[in-house]
Chains A and B, each alone.
Chain A
Amino acid sequence: MTEVTMTVNGKSVSRPVRGNELLVEFLREQLRLTGTHVGCDTSQCGACCVHVNGELVKACTMFAAEADGAEVATIEGMANADGSLNVIQQAFQDHHGLQCGFCTPGMVMAAAALLKDNPTPTEAEIRHYLQGNICRCTGYHNIIKAIMAASGQDAGKIAAE
């Protein structure tokens, strides 16, 4: 076991971890932050996406020990300070950007990472950026609409498919 210290959603945490303990296991099982989902555990689906030092990563494909000293942000830290949904989360609700909701935490974290670098992405840029996030309800259309709306753009411009 190795002791790791990291900041998760603004709070400093220190815990012993196993060498082979994944970041997603650390978040879900040690910290009980179960909003970060494990869909595939093979780095394909993106349900486990979190931010490490501001960058989008798949928490199932990184060891907890590698996050020692890092700033980690998960879906639990995305809401506004007063507990209301942030602009991306609200847009997902408004535009029905989720059906079963399993992929949603990863989608919201990916959307947040995209909008940080590219505040007004085109539809094509959003689709390209979400290549690593799979929605098995296949609800992509409304996810794209939600992200367009969250970036202050006219979501109605996207052609129906």
Chain B
Amino acid sequence: MYSFDIERPKSVADAVAALGADEAQPIAGGQTLIPTLKQRLASPSKLVALSGIEEMKYVRRDGDTLVIGGGTTHGTIARETAEHFPGLAGLAARIGDPAVRNRGTIGGSIANNDPSACYPSAALACGATIVTDKREIAADDYFQGMFMTALEEGEIVTEIRFPIPEKSAYMKFEQIASRFPLVGVFVAKFADKVGVGVTGASNDGVFRWSEAEQALGSNFAADAVSGLTAPDASDMISDLHGTGAYRAHLVGVMTKRAVAAAS
């Protein structure tokens, strides 16, 4: 790693102030950023560690919305959302491994927008709201392509608000070495609509599969997906783990499995 200073503010306000420094960078759980720093792919002058900010760690239900602090770890989310939103709890419980889940946070995942991260698919499928220290952003406007988001320099994801679906499930086909999804699909059924968020597949990052949303909106059954044409394989990620055509095929398979498992 290159050398840098590290600061550990106790409040969002102090973190925002610390991020005003030249080439300062926030670090959430660090489960992606620390490996990146070790490879010398980032060279911040100062890291502002968000892990000491207690006011960003919470899960609470507010009517039909589940409100989660940006600093909440995957492990906490897996435990504390199981009762109200089992689809999200199931997603969180299968990220990485137990040690990673005890450090990695939902805010870090949403801010990084790795094309294979799990949470962005749930945020898109549910129409979540991403709350920062400055504003509220609809998920549809927030995710803007691989590692690209609506966040500005130094802006921190402080909270994510998920409308709670009637039924939901997340299914991923794991790339076994990294445990990231080769393709992951989150299906969320609401009274008036169905959301389908797909991660790991597209060169443009997480996306909504609108054909499946329409088909499932009129018939919420795995069979409803069978007749659909798979998303365009030429837009899919192609690497040594799987071709674009393979990933496009997996989108349909994972969607069907998620519909069948939804609870």
Contact = CB atoms under 8 A, between A and B. Distances in A.
Interaction A to B: yes
Interface of A: 2, 18-20, 22, 41-44, 46, 49, 52, 55-58, 61-63, 65-66, 68, 110, 113-114, 129, 131-133
B98 A43 contact: no
Given A43-B35, A131-B97, 5 more contacts: A19-B47, A20-B37, A41-B38, A61-B103, A66-B30
Contact of B38 (A42, A49, A62, A110): A42
B31 A20 contact: no
A65 B8 contact: yes
B102 interface: yes
B1 interface: yes
Interface string B8-38: 1000000000000000000000110011011
* Cβ-closest 4 pairs across A and B: A132-B97, A19-B6, A55-B102, A20-B1
B6 A132 contact: no
- Interface of A, helix, strand, loop or mixed by DSSP: mixed
Contacts of B8: 65-66, 68
A19 B99 contact: no
B196 to A, nearest CB: 27
Given A41-B38, A42-B38, A132 B5 contact: no
A20 B98 contact: no
Nearest to A48: B99
B109 interface: no
Contacts of B96: 132
A65 B35 CA distance: 17
Contacts of A55: 75, 102
Contacts of A62: 30, 34, 103
Contact of A113 (B6, B35, B98): B98
A49 B47 contact: no
Contacts of B98: 56, 110, 113-114, 129, 131-132
Contacts of A61: 30-31, 34-35, 100, 103
A8 to B, nearest CB: 18
B53 to A, nearest CB: 12
Contacts of A56: 98-99, 102
A41 B1 CA distance: 12
B30 A132 contact: no
Nearest to A61: B34
A57 B49 contact: no
A52 B38 CA distance: 22
A18 B3 contact: yes
A46 B3 contact: no
A66 B49 contact: yes
